[in-house]
Amino acid sequence: MPLTRWLAEYAWLPEHAEPTPDVLIEAEDGRITAVTPLVGDGAPAAGVEVLREAVRLPGLTLPGLANAHSHAFHRALRGRTHGGRGDFWSWRDVMYTVAARLDPDSYLALARAAYAEMALAGITCVGEFHYLHHGPGGTPYADPNAMSAALVEAAAHAGIRITLLDTAYLAAGVDGAPLTGPQRRFGDGDALRWAERVSGFTPEDDHARVGAAIHSVRAVPAEQLATVAGWADRQGRPLHVHLSEQPAENDACRAVHGCTPTRLLADHGALGRHTTAVHATHPTSADLTLLGDSRTGICLCPTTERDLADGIGPARRMAEAGSPLSLGSDSHAVVDLFEEARAVELDERLRTRRRGHFTAAELVTAATVAGHAALGWEDAGRLSVGDRADLVTVRLDSARTAGVPPVGTFFAATAADVTHVVVDGRTVVAEGRHLTVDVPAELSAAIEELTRP
């Protein structure tokens, strides 16, 4: 890949509390080779020819955003589950009806469009929490990883990277009840057979990596948690887990095991710096200490957590305990990492009735470098030499961002303000348009197919 140059009107550089004006960014073979501020004391003068060759990026240029928690097939539920009463458990019943209708071809079509929507929103890497493994009734496809392969292919078509978090989903409750109905498509029988299947999935594409997930302590029996965690540890892969999303989960775990889900995971070796706990909405003080001391990350999904009436987790206390924070769109009720980021601060204000918990730089970190690290891409999420050339440019002249100082972008912009997206040095979105996928048309077609009576 030849040398490419971009001239950012503003760029958010590592270790800077606010954006830097007039920054020349150069990349070759998908890696950033130079980052040069062109104004200020000691700034070098760029040659006229160099500046003429550079692609100009009006607005604020950020590192690529990382969506650390996605269920791609949930995109088909948007607008269909939000009205009326109900809770997480009633929503889940509707979700199962979509899960029952998917096959590798229809999942490829839906995920391709869903991931392209993410690209339009500035997301350059997704963590797909994948548990829809098998055919109807739980019968494996001829290729037992056909659904995983569809997701990896979908990400390639959309132009983004993916960490396929292959999820162990083995039981219907903390008491080990067997899977029934659509849930049977999720299960491999036991953790050893899960590990055998996932070990056979080795995508060769550079845009894809495979990690592991424990769906929750509801879905993996306690005696099998260590098998899943051990597989991830031996392979050097990230491990993710839904944790304490609902008070009912905590209550059930205490009733069966006499401890919280966090304590159960700790006792079976499932916490640590390569683990990310998703949601952690209802932790105890002791849970926060276990998570922080082990440097277990926390992925917050505020738009889903409020859509499902889950509650508001103690984000500031999590960060202060030592847990890195990342962000996810989860059910895709909204695909907008700007909204997820500012919600971390705004929801904390609701919870505490005080303002000013997170700086803009902390929110940028959660949306970029911390999310990539949670997905095993340690070389992404920064505009710095040697890192992946992922650039996301946000316009500063829209009705939402006009008059807003660049440092305030995460409190004003939406996904609709993204104009230019580069992934590994390749332009995927230009002038707000995906270069290869007609996102609205493909979303409409894929979802109509799945939801047709």
Kindly name the residue from 166, 307, 330, 336 that is annotated as catalytic. 330
Task: Tell me the backbone φ, ψ of residue 161, rounded to 5 degrees.
Answer: -85, 160
CA 174 – CA 52 distance, rounded (Å): 62
Can 330 be counted among the known catalytic residues? yes
**Alpha carbon of residue 413 to chain centroid:** 19
Of 277, 183, 181, the closest CA to residue 238 belongs to 277
* Contact status, residue 359 vs residue 17, Cβ threshold 8 Å: yes
List the one residue out of 44, 26, 45 whose CA is nearest residue 35: 26
Other beta carbons within 10 Å of 94? 12
Contact partners, residue 413, CB within 8 Å, separation at least 6: 338, 394, 398, 400, 401, 404
The CA distance from 42 to 97, in Å, is 61
279 in active site? yes
Which one of the listed residues 279, 282, 357, 420 is annotated catalytic? 279
Q: What is the number of H-type helices and E-type strands within the chain? A: 15, 16
Task: Quote the tokens at residue 242.
Answer: 């839904």
Please state whether 29 falls in left (phi above 0), alpha (psi between -120 and 50) or beta: left
End-to-end CA distance of the chain: 48
In whole angstroms, what is the distance from residue 20 CA to residue 11 CA?
A: 5
DSSP assignment of 43-62: PPPPPHHHHHHSEEEEEEEE
Q: Residue 144 corresponds to which tokens in the numbers above?
A: 């037992």
Residue 98's CB: how many other CB atoms inside 10 A? 20
> 109 near 196, Cβ under 8 Å?
no
Angle between helices 146-158 and 104-120 (to 10 degrees): 30
Q: Which residues are catalytic?
A: 279, 330
